Chains A and B, each alone.
Chain A
């Protein structure tokens, strides 16, 4: 099925561990983005990419890295997890008609 696929759906990390949240889309969308959602706050943009090889920072980029080596994939890396990064993470791609979101990753850092 066409869409945005995020893995894993759930993850528990210890403080200081690293991990990569995977995001893949099969719609050939140039624009992809990562958001985090915290209780009482709107979704906030972490990083985005307007095409392969091009990435830029969003509103809350600290502690996260991204790369875009292909149109399909846009992984989000946590280099050294902190409890403040406990959140629900969404990946999305965009075409002219709007956004397609992944199903989210619920990350807990203990």
Chain B
């Protein structure tokens, strides 16, 4: 079993829909990251969380340390949100990241 599990693996939504991507992890962590990988391959850091909730534009990330679970929400989704969303956690000394396999999101008109 991977230390970081994401669900769903693939997600198709219509423009305007509210989207939730989930991340569960099985180890103690010091921080959790959400990343976005564009169709062209580039990776962008969206959020770094160690507790609570963060918001940036239409993106909201939450984390529940006790339940070892994080969610990434996208409100009013748009085709430009189509990308792979990756969850990653810092464990131990925080020098190493362990990644989930990603959620591929496609938003259609």
Contacts and interface: CB of A to CB of B under 8 A. Distances in A.
Interface stretch (B10-18, B43-51, B68-76): B43-51
Interface in A74-110: 88, 90, 92, 97-101, 103-104, 106
B33 to A, nearest CB: 6
Nearest to A31: B95
B100 A42 contact: yes
Interface string B16-31: 0000000000000000
B85 interface: no
A53 interface: no
A99 B100 contact: no
Nearest to A97: B48
Given A48-B96, A56-B95, A103-B41, A42 B33 contact: no
Interface residue tally on A, bucketed by range = 20 to 34
Contact of A104 (B42, B86, B99): B42
Contacts of A33: 97
Q: Which of A31, A43, A103 has the most CB of B within 10 A?
A: A43
B88 interface: yes
B64 interface: no
A106 B40 CA distance: 12
B4 interface: yes
Interface residues of B, number: 21
Interface in A35-75: 40-45, 48, 50, 56, 58-59
A56 B2 CA distance: 23
Interface of B: 2, 4, 33, 35, 41-45, 47-48, 86, 88, 95-102
The 6 A-B residue pairs whose C-beta atoms are closest, nearest first, are A42-B99, A98-B45, A101-B43, A43-B99, A98-B48, A42-B101
Interface of A: 31, 33, 40-45, 48, 50, 56, 58-59, 88, 90, 92, 97-101, 103-104, 106
8 contacts: A42-B86, A42-B99, A43-B99, A58-B96, A59-B96, A98-B45, A99-B45, A103-B41
